């Protein structure tokens, strides 16, 4: 009898949950005036705003280094060879952001290094797109197509999203054509994943598969709440296991405004290095919780320096918004507009203080002097705050590598971190400069790339 009663309560609970779920869904009308839940009405309005993106890039094939050696070619009577190229193709998705201007949002990694970008609409039309601007640190890119009669998705306020809200992912998975999957918001504010330089992801169980990148994550009103960008896949297996990530629409809007105005993001800079607070540090700094970040270094002349921030200060909030850790502080500052004044909530020696700081634009220090012949074509500078390695390792960042240059042939890539030269540890650009020339003799570089360390020998 007890089991029967429990079953009735359980069934009643399931029925109630079903009613709540159905009440939140859009409805369509069928014959006989039957009311049935359906996403179709919303999707009919939303799908035309989601596009397919195909890219082509011409990649130079790297030959054996010996074939570039004049002495080796002469000794074996090998004629000088012309550079060989192969065509690389990729597929992704995009979202029409401004129908009048033909602006389309997508991921930076979808169009990165593309020589041709083709945008295909749901009505069968295709257009060649031009790049307006991109931001690798947040993986947002904006392209433009010369098209009329477009349909754009309205932006939602992603700050109002809640865990459990229904969402729908629209994109082009595996190049199959436009596909729709549904799910819920599984988590908010995901960071520290090492996927992008600045992370504040929406996590969803709506299937996001290869090719969905740059597509739309919409709510049940058909409003854009995020741009699909990544999946979590253990063992690097291709496919979705129910953990997908999207860039919130509010972050996308902040980035897009700057891309339209400047063609790039002029990132705000506070000028500090931070460390997460653990239980031991919380006790040492006389604070009640381990939320926030402790200042470990202040850049001279920076906004933090001018605001009076000190090493050992614990920053717990910005403009009243609570900070969880060092990543959340870096994300918050990195998305501010240059010249914006903020209030820093600080605990110093157990006492609460409020400091005002006016954030500045990041001033890149780029090495433009003589370098080793094998380094020509690359630009170097101090590690940017947008890098996931900022404050975690010391060294010099490779800002860019010109295609076909000696540095490219040597194996250098943009965003590599050089941590030592000829076994001499370097901390910054000033340490790197005297070692980078070396009269053309051999260079042994220790490099960190995608979280892995490796050596490059340059002769």
* Predicted confidence (pLDDT) per residue in 194-245, tens digit: 677 677 889 998 888 778 888 999 999 999 999 998 877 655 555 556 688 9
Asked if CATH classification 2.30.42.10 holds for the domain at 366-458, the reply, yes or no, is yes
Return the active site residues. 109, 139, 213
* Secondary structure (DSSP) of 434-449: HHHHGGG--EEEEEEE
Domain limits of the chain? Answer: 48-144, 158-262, 268-361, 366-458
Same fold, 268-361 and 366-458: yes
Residue 15, pLDDT score: 37
Q: Does domain 158-262 have CATH number 2.40.10.10?
A: yes
Residues 192 and 325 sit within 8 Å (Cβ to Cβ): yes
Q: Show the tokens assigned to 277.
A: 């607070």
Q: Does the pLDDT value for residue 303 go beyond 80?
A: yes
Which tens digit of pLDDT belongs to each residue from 397-424?
888 787 778 888 888 888 889 998 888 8
Which tens digit of pLDDT belongs to each residue from 99-121?
999 999 999 988 888 888 999 89
Q: What is the dihedral of CA 218, 223, 229, 231, to 10 degrees?
A: -20
Two structure tokens written together for 425: 């540890």
- pTM greater than 0.85: no
**Exposure pattern of 189-214 as b/e (b: 16+ CB <10 Å)?**
ebbeeebbbbbbbbbbbbbbbbbbbb
In the predicted structure, residue 80 carries a pLDDT above the cut 70: no
Residue of 153, 232, 137, 154 lying closest to 186 (CA atoms)? 232
* Residue 162 confidence (pLDDT): 93
**Residue 45 or 19, more confident:** 45
Question: Do residues 414 and 422 touch, judged by C-beta distance below 8 A?
Answer: no
Question: What pLDDT, on the 0 to 100 scale, is given for residue 55?
Answer: 87
Residues 442, 194: Cα–Cα separation, whole Å? 33
- Separation of alpha carbons 169 and 227, rounded Å: 9
CATH architecture of 48-144: Beta Barrel (2.40)
Both tokens assigned to 104: 């389309």
Q: Are 165 and 187 in contact (CB under 8 A)?
A: no
At 136, the pLDDT band (50, 70, 90 cuts) reads confident
CATH class of 268-361: mainly beta
């Amino acid at each position: 009898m007890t089991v029967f009663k429990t079953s009735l309560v359980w069934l009643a609970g399931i029925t109630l949950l079903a009613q709540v779920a159905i009440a939140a869904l859009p409805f369509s009308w069928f014959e006989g005036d039957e009311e049935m839940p359906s996403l179709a009405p919303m999707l009919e309005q939303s799908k035309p705003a989601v596009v397919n993106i195909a890219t082509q890039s011409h990649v130079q094939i790297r030959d054996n280094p010996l074939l570039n050696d004049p002495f080796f070619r002469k000794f074996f009577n090998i004629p000088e060879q012309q550079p060989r190229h192969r065509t690389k193709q990729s597929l992704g998705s995009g979202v029409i952001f401004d129908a009048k201007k033909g602006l389309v949002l997508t991921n930076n990694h979808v169009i990165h290094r593309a020589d041709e970008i083709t945008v295909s609409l749901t009505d069968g039309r295709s257009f060649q797109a031009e790049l307006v601007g991109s931001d690798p640190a947040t993986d947002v890119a904006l392209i433009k197509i010369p098209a009329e009669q477009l349909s754009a998705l309205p932006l939602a306020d992603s700050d109002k999203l809640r865990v459990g809200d229904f969402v729908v992912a629209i994109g082009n998975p595996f190049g199959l054509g436009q596909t729709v999957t549904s799910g819920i918001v599984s988590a908010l504010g995901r960071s520290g994943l090492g996927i992008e330089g600045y992370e504040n992801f929406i996590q969803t169980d709506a299937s996001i598969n290869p090719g969905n990148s740059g597509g739309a994550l919409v709510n049940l009103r058909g409003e854009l709440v995020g741009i699909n960008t990544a999946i979590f896949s253990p063992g690097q297996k291709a496919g979705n296991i129910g953990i997908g990530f999207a860039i919130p629409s509010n972050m996308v809007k902040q980035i897009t405004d700057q891309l339209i105005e400047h063609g790039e993001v002029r990132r705000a800079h506070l000028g500090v290095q931070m460390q997460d607070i653990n239980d031991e540090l919380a006790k040492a700094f006389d604070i009640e919780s381990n939320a926030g970040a402790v200042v470990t270094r202040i850049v001279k002349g920076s906004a933090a320096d001018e605001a009076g921030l000190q090493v050992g200060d614990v920053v717990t909030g910005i403009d009243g918004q609570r900070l969880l850790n060092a990543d959340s502080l870096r994300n918050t500052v990195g998305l501010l507009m240059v010249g914006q004044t903020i209030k820093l909530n600080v605990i110093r020696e157990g006492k609460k203080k409020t400091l005002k700081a006016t954030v500045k634009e990041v001033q890149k220090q780029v090495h433009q002097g003589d370098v080793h012949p094998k380094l020509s074509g690359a630009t170097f500078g101090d590690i940017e705050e947008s890098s996931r390695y900022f404050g975690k390792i010391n060294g010099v960042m490779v800002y860019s590598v010109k295609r076909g240059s000696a540095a490219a042939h040597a194996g250098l890539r943009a965003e590599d971190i050089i941590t030592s030269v000829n076994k001499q540890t370097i901390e910054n650009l000033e340490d790197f400069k005297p070692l980078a020339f070396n009269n053309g003799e051999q260079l042994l570089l220790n490099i960190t790339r995608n979280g892995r360390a490796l050596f490059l020998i340059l002769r």
